[in-house]
Amino acid sequence: MSLSFSERKAALKSGRLDIKSLVDVALEHTRRNAHLNAFITLMSELAYEQAGRVATRLLNGEYPPLAGVILAVKDNIALRGVRLTCASKILENYISPYTATALQRLIDAGAVVIGKTNLDEFAMGSSTEHSAYGVTLNPHNLERVPGGSSGGSAAAVAAGVVTSALGSETGGSVRQPAAFCGILGLKPTYGRVSRYGLTAFGSSLDQIGVMSSDVEEAAHIFQAMAGCDANDNTTSPTPVPDCSALSEFALEGLRIGLPVEYFGEGIQPAVRNTIEKAAAVLRRSGAVVSECSLPHTKYAIPTYYIIAPAEASSNLARYDGVRYGPRFEGENGEDIIRASRQAGFGAEVKRRIMLGAYVLSAGYYDAYYKKAQRVRRLIRQDFSEAFRNYDLLMTPTAPTTAFKIGEKIASPLAMYLSDIFTASANLAGVPAISLPIGSDDKGLPIGMQLIAQDFREDLLFRTTKRIIELINI
C-alpha cells in the first residue's frame, strides 16, 4: 500500500490521507520489526505532536514541501529534548538541549521524526555491531549485518518502517549500509549540509546524508536541509541547485568514467558483473562510458585510517565522565577521567582514540598525520583530473554484499576494508550516491556508486532516477 512521495503529497493535499495515520502506520511497523533492533529510541508522543502541527498547516492551505515524510534519524544527530546516545554507554542518559540545523530544516519543511536509529558507537564501524545497544539485523537476511555505521537507518528504510532516514558519513557510513540494504544513500559534498548538531567524529570528513527508498523524496529532503548555516563555518555559500525537478533527463552524451582501480582483486564477481551490466545499459541509452584511472585509490584506506582517528581522538576528548556521562570515583581528576572513559567507551572507540593519539604524538606527527594530509591532496587531485573528462564516475559501492554477523568483528583490518570504495569521496570532499542495482545469488542487494564534482548532487539524483527507470524496464 506504500505510496510514492508524489502520490502521498497529492493524497494529503486532497484530504484523502491524513498525516496522523502515516505516523500510526510507521509506529505499527516499528513494532512489527522490533527484532531488527533498528531503533535506539522511539518517540511516538513527539511524532504525534509534530504531525499535529503539520496537519494544522495543511488545514490552513499551506503545503510544506516535506509534508507526508516520516523520518528516522541516526542517533548521533541532535534533536532537542530527546536522548542522544551515539550508541555509546557514555551518553546513555544524555538529553540533547538543541536540534541539529539539518534536522530542524526538515521539521520546518513538514517532516515528522518517529525515532532515533542504531549505529556503530560514535559512527565508528561498518556493520553496526559496535553498538552498546546490540547489533541491528539486515532485513534481507537476518544473519547478515546491515552495514554501518548508519545500519539502523538503513534497516528501517529497507524494512519499510519509513521511506527515508538521516544517516551520517565520515568514510562511507551512508553509502555502504545503503548498498547492503538495497536502498539509496547520498553523501553530500563536504560543506553542503550543516554539521551543527551532528556529533563530531572526523570533522574534516563528516557530513549528514539521506537514505531512502524513493529518489524523489531523497532529493526533496536533500534540498530542504542543504545550504549555508551561520552555526557551521564550513558550510558553503554556493547556491543549492534545484534537485526537485528530476524528470526529463536524458543520458545521451553523459560522460561516465569507470575507474579501473575499483574493479580489481577482492571484489565479489556478482558485484563486478552487475556494475558492468549496468554500464552496458547506460551505453545503450547514449551515455559515453569508458575506463579511467584514480591512481592514488590504494592509499585511501591507510590515509583515512590516520586522519579519521586523529580527528576522533581530539573530538572525543570531551567525553570524560565530568562534562558527559556516568562519573566513576577516583583518587584525583585523572583517575576519575580514566575510569569513566574506560567504562563508558567500547573497544572500537578506544582503538580509534589510541590510533589517533599515536599518529598525532610529537615523534610521529610528521611521519603519519602530515604525510596522510599530503596524500589526501593527491587523492583530491585524482578526482579533479578525472572530472576534466567525465561528468560522473561509476563504481561498486562496496566490494561485497552484506557479510555475516560476527564474520569481521575479530579483525579490525578486514572491517576497515569494507570502506575501500567509499572513503576516497570523503577524503576528496566530493558528493557520491549509492543506488540499488541488483542482487547476488543469495538475494543480497548490490549497490552502485556514482561520484560527481563538488556541489553536483542534482546530477547524482537525476542520473539515479534515470538508471532506476532503465533497470526496472
Q: Which residues of this chain interact with ligand GLN, rule CB under 6 A?
A: 123-126, 149, 169-173, 201, 308, 419
Name which of 70 and 166 has its Cβ closer to ligand GLN: 166
Name which of 64 and 399 has its Cβ closer to ligand GLN: 399
Please indicate whether residue 204 is annotated as part of the active site.
Answer: no
Give strand ranges (E) for 194-325: 207-212, 255-259, 288-292
Name which of 75 and 169 has its Cβ closer to ligand GLN: 169
Min. distance of Cβ 125 from ligand GLN in angstroms? 5
Phi, psi of 93, deg, nearest 5: -115, 25
Min. distance of Cβ 426 from ligand GLN in angstroms? 7
Q: Cβ(126)–Cβ(415) under 8 Å?
A: yes
Residue tagged 529532503 (cell numbers): 221
CA dihedral angle for residue 463, residue 465, residue 468, residue 471, rounded to 10 degrees: -50
Cell numbers at residue 407, please? 564474520
Name which of 226 and 355 has its Cβ closer to ligand GLN: 355
Cell numbers at residue 311, please? 580527528
* Active-site annotation holder among 149, 150, 164, 194: 149
Min. distance of Cβ 211 from ligand GLN in angstroms? 13
Please indicate whether residue 404 is annotated as part of the active site.
Answer: no
Name which of 266 and 269 has its Cβ closer to ligand GLN: 266
* Active-site annotation holder among 9, 74, 116, 408: 74
Give strand ranges (E) for 261-342: 288-292
Q: Cβ(211)–Cβ(154) under 8 Å?
A: yes
Name which of 287 and 359 has its Cβ closer to ligand GLN: 359
Query: Hey, what amino acid is at 105?
Result: R
Give strand ranges (E) for 153-287: 164-169, 184-187, 207-212, 255-259
Residue number, nearest CB to ligand GLN: 173
- CA pair distance 52, 152, nearest whole angstrom: 26
The b/e string for 186-196 (b: 16+ C-beta within 10 A; e otherwise) is bbbbbbbbbbb
Q: Cβ(118)–Cβ(97) under 8 Å?
A: no
CA angle, residues 66, 146, 114, in degrees to nearest 5: 35
Min. distance of Cβ 171 from ligand GLN in angstroms? 3
Min. distance of Cβ 168 from ligand GLN in angstroms? 6
Min. distance of Cβ 419 from ligand GLN in angstroms? 5
Min. distance of Cβ 205 from ligand GLN in angstroms? 8
* Active-site annotation holder among 127, 131, 173, 213: 173
For residue 200, give every residue at least 6 positions away whose Cβ sits within 8 Å of its Cβ, in sequence order, or none: 206, 311, 315
For residue 51, give every residue at least 6 positions away whose Cβ sits within 8 Å of its Cβ, in sequence order, or none: 19, 20, 22, 23, 112
Strands 164-169, 70-74: pairing is parallel
Please indicate whether residue 74 is annotated as part of the active site.
Answer: yes
Name which of 169 and 214 has its Cβ closer to ligand GLN: 169
Catalytic residues: 74, 149, 173
